[in-house]
Amino acid sequence: MAERTFKGEMESSTKMCPLDKLGVKDRKILYELSKNGRLSISTIAKKVGLSRDIVGYRLNNFLKTKLIPGFTLRLNTSRLGFIKHIVLIKFQHLDKKEEREIIDKLVNHEDIVAVETCSGNWDMSVLIMSRDLIHLNKTFQELIEICGNNLKDYIVETQIDDRELGLNFLNEGLADSKDDKYIRDGFMNEFKNISPSKDPKIDEVDINLINLLMADSRMPMVEICSKLKLTPPAVENRIKKLIKEDVIYGFMTQVSLQMLGLHWYWILLRTKNLTEKREKQFLDYLKKQPYITWDARTIGRYNFHLSTFARDSIHFREILSDLRKEFSDIIVDYDSLLVFNQYKYMHRIA
């Protein structure tokens, strides 16, 4: 089955529009899309107060300039029997040519779903998806072989769960539209009524549908139907089922935030004495931080990985200092990484 070329890459571009220079309407369009990448242009137009034609024009411009490089799924892979493992890698004696060769091989590996280069104590972050320990060991040994003699050190973290916190900084100072009259669009009603069974029944057609939406979650229904040879009601019912079963938990719009002048950091935390009450307070705190966009709980050297964006190093220090101050009783140690580039973010469900 043909797959679109989008793999989740961050675009390297000299064309920039700093966040504080981005028009209010453009920010609103990006914000609505960041919440649900399948919202229709008509719904977005009503929410932001523009005509359908103007919203369509601006969206096409976002795609053309690669401010939006693509659309993908927020996928609960644990519901499909997969476990995610974050591998942090330190290299030695690595020149640009060797780094590019390693990146290309990792990107082309079907069981490696994310590849990022960074600076700090670690030079690369790789996300592996496996069904069991044997599968993990096979992929991990292949990763080690790809890195070869350039590998200096590594750690492996097993991901327990993760949460998409949203690009809430796009909506800072703006009124958030919560009008339920648009609830039928973008499967919004289904996302509000999730009732997963203990063992979701997923067949080959569901897998093909997931892979299509992973490559382009905004793919028109008529195109999906053509590729799967199904009617629109049949496709809609399958998507609704996958949402109800908490397999699909969102339609994600990829935004190249560095084009808005933002810098991407990982905050890695090791915690202690984390009671259920204190953990809830910590997670509630993260929800209220507009520049912390994603978090994952892990088992390994670190207990939490936080994806954070900042305007500059001073802004990042403020975010990190406030976090450490608020939770000094549970944060034992921390590390931070500046992400240079993301070369892949694409799950492939076999």
Instruction: Supply the CATH number for residue 126's domain.
Output: 3.30.70.920
| Domain identity same for 66 and 82 | no
Structural domain contains residue 12: no
* pLDDT at residue 114 greater than cutoff 80: yes
| Domain identity same for 200 and 314 | no
CATH number of the domain within which 194 lies: 1.10.10.2890
How much is the pLDDT for 58?
Answer: 96
Distance CA 307, CA 293 (A): 6
| Domain identity same for 129 and 189 | no
Non-local (6+) Cβ contacts of 293 within 8 A are 164, 165, 166, 167, 168, 307, 308, 309
Structural domain contains residue 242: yes
Structural domain contains residue 349: no
Structural domain contains residue 89: yes
| Domain identity same for 309 and 175 | no
Instruction: Dump pLDDT digits (tens) for 205-260.
Output: 999 999 999 999 999 999 999 999 999 999 999 999 999 999 999 999 999 888 89
Full residue range of the structural domain in which residue 336 is found: 259-340
| Domain identity same for 183 and 309 | no
How much is the pLDDT for 4?
Answer: 40
Distance CA 102, CA 106 (A): 6
Structural domain contains residue 1: no
Domain count, the chain: 3
Taking alpha carbons only, the member of 248, 246, 225, 242 closest to residue 71 is 248
Out of 254, 281, 308, pick the residue that ends a domain. Answer: 254
Structural domain contains residue 283: yes
| Domain identity same for 31 and 150 | no
| pTM tops 0.85 | yes
Out of 254, 284, 311, pick the residue that ends a domain. Answer: 254
Are 25 and 171 in contact by the 8 Å Cβ rule? The answer is no
Instruction: Dump pLDDT digits (tens) for 23-39.
Output: 999 999 999 999 999 99
| Domain identity same for 57 and 85 | no
| Domain identity same for 243 and 285 | no
The three-state secondary structure class of 210 is helix
How much is the pLDDT for 183?
Answer: 62
- What would the 3-class secondary structure string for 22-37 be? CCHHHHHHHHHHHHCC
Taking alpha carbons only, the member of 162, 197, 147, 10 closest to residue 82 is 162
More confident residue, 221 or 9: 221
| Domain identity same for 176 and 31 | yes
Non-local (6+) Cβ contacts of 107 within 8 A are 7, 115, 343, 344
Instruction: Dump pLDDT digits (tens) for 255-304.
Output: 988 889 999 999 999 999 999 999 999 999 999 999 999 999 999 999 99
Question: What is the pLDDT confidence band of residue 117, given thresholds at 50, 70 and 90?
Answer: very high
Structural domain contains residue 4: no
Question: What is the pLDDT confidence band of residue 11, given thresholds at 50, 70 and 90?
Answer: low
Out of 214, 231, 254, pick the residue that ends a domain. Answer: 254
Structural domain contains residue 8: no
Distance CA 30, CA 226 (A): 29
Neighbours of 187 (CB within 10 A): 21
